Amino acid sequence: MAFTHTNKIRYRYTAGGTEIDQEVSKTETGGGEANVSEALGPLSSSPATPLVIDYFNYEEEDQTLSVFILLDGFDGTLKDHAGVVMLNLTDGDPFVWSKNGGTDWPMGASNPMNDNTTSLSITPVGASENDEATFTVRVLFNPRDV
């Protein structure tokens, strides 16, 4: 069964009383998905303590086709199981990436997935005790033949 993910970005620019709207999208199709939707918090009295999401198993970053990551509620640093920083996330700003036939899209973005990841952690940045967030990950990939 094939899965299809579409990353779509809408740009709205206003200058001199003129508004320009532009929407750009990339669609990828692959054989596997790795998805997470996790409520985080309320944070403890040590709000910078990493929040661990166990059992997020991701084997081969080079098979990744599309990524969507969103932390909604506070800023945070996303790391893999080995503590390698994958992304610095800003509250409510989605990160999107598509392989786009081998040309990273959007320009300046790169695949954040790491080989042999077994868990993810989010370290809140600038958060306070009792803050809450929702963490969403959607990854499309091509599984390797075994």
What distances in angstroms separate CA 56 from CA 113, 116, 119, one per listed residue? Answer: 11, 10, 5
pTM (two decimals) = 0.92
**DSSP symbols for 99-120:** -GGGS-BSTT------TTEEEE
With a cut of 80, say whether residue 146 has pLDDT above it: no
Q: How far apart are CA 75 and CA 95, in angstroms?
A: 13
pLDDT, tens digit, for every residue of 4-37? Answer: 999 999 999 999 999 999 999 999 999 999 999 9
* Of 35, 22, 52, nearest in space to 123 by CA: 52
Q: Cα dist. 80→7, 34, 54, 116, 123 in Å?
A: 23, 14, 10, 9, 11
Structural domains of the chain, with CATH: 30-141 (2.60.120)
What DSSP designation does 145 have?
P
pLDDT band at residue 45 under the 50/70/90 scheme: confident
Residue 2's Cα: distance from chain center in Å? 21
Helix (H, G, I), strand (E, B) or coil at 62: helix
Q: Reduced to 3 states, what is the DSSP secondary structure of residue 61? A: helix
